[in-house]
Structure 1
Amino acid sequence: MNDDHTPDHSQDDTQESGFVQEPRLWQNETWTAKVIKNDDDDGWAVAMFKDGESEAALIGPWTMGRDKKNPKPLDGTAFITLVKTASEFVRRSEQQLHATLHQAVTVNGQTGRVTVLLDIVPDDDNPYATLSAQDEGGDTLAEVRVEAGFKLNRNTAQAWVDAGFEKPKGARG
């Protein structure tokens, strides 16, 4: 489709550019939408794959066609909506992962505010985290390696600062 909503019949152009536009499969340079049989019932689902990924970023229900047996074919409008939805889902998942892996709490120290940071390294074989403290100017006051499961909250941060940045008890790493 063009911007003026007239059909684009240049099928050869889409094939040459690597774009696929089939009833159950649409693809652009970043995303692939694939209509699949829904394993949970008699209906259909659409799976959105980001380029280079083997697992779907998003799977959602898909509408039945007029015959109530086969899926409705994908089209340009649906594909654009699916790409926007899947992109937003991936963005939010990345933000949530970042927030989980990089935490910060600010507490009072002897000479002013101290920001305590926990940066988790989710290594498959040996996950760990780095607990660090920064003064108000961003200078590092202390840094220790702790378990990836270390719980950073206002109490644990304040206790670490109050203890003069000694390695927290039970914090292996």
Structure 2
Amino acid sequence: MIFSPGDEAVEDERSTPVNEPRFWRNNGWTARVIKNEDDDGWAVAMIKDGEPEPALVGPWTMGRDKRNPKPLDVSAFNTLVKTASEVLRRHEQQKHAMYHKSITVSAQTGRVRVTLDIVPDEDDPHALLAAQDASGEQLAELRVQPGFKLTMASATAWIDDDFCRPG
């Protein structure tokens, strides 16, 4: 990681807790109450430190005067952190499921687990197709196109063809 002059000050600033009515920062998260552009209401944006975009943006409650937002408090902030963390966790799970597929098939030699790990590299996108036996020993691995479709039929055909390059 490359640091430039002043990075320490930015890092110290981010780690210092702030508890203001419309702006809270603590434990790696920032909550900011903002004017809702779509109507007269308010919204809250939850941003994880170091991320360029909010993990969560949602409606925020009006205060007693029906014009200004309700101030943030510790309970609301903790609930927002929990909700935003869950959103990020689900997003990571979805991304993992999109790039890592696994199928177990019954072959003549026993059960074989076939995996496809897509590497979405901007310059060299590809995928790794691999097979392991029931004990976890690697039987084969080869590089394939990132668009390779891992199905029961394609996995079985690859195994039956002694792990030769598909297609």
Instruction: Quote how far apart the aligned CAs of 1:146 are.
Output: 1.3
> Partner of 2:27 in structure 1?
29
* Mapped contact 1:129–1:147 kept (Cα < 8 A): yes
Deviations 1:128-161 (A, max 9, x none): 1100111111111111111222221222211211
Aligned residue identity for 1:57? A
Q: Counterparts of 1:34-113 in structure 2 under 5 Å?
A: 34-113=32-111
Deviations 1:50-107 (A, max 9, x none): 1111111111111122222221111111001001111111112112222222211000
Q: 4+ residue stretches of structure 1 with deviation over 3 A?
A: none
In 1, Cα distance between the equivalents of 2:150 and 2:64?
54
Are residues 158 and 50 of structure 1, via their aligned partners in 2, closer, same or farther at CA, if it must alter by over 3 Å? same
> Partner of 1:3 in structure 2?
none
Aligned residue identity for 2:152? R
Q: 2:150 aligns with which of 117, 137, 152?
A: 152
TM-score, normalised to structure 2, is 0.85
In 2, Cα distance between the equivalents of 1:87 and 1:99?
18
* Of 140-149 and 74-83, the range deviating more from structure 2: 140-149
5+ long unaligned stretches in structure 1: 1-14
5+ long unaligned stretches in structure 2: 1-12
TM-score, normalised to structure 1, is 0.82
What's the Cα RMSD here?
1.6
Identity %: 65
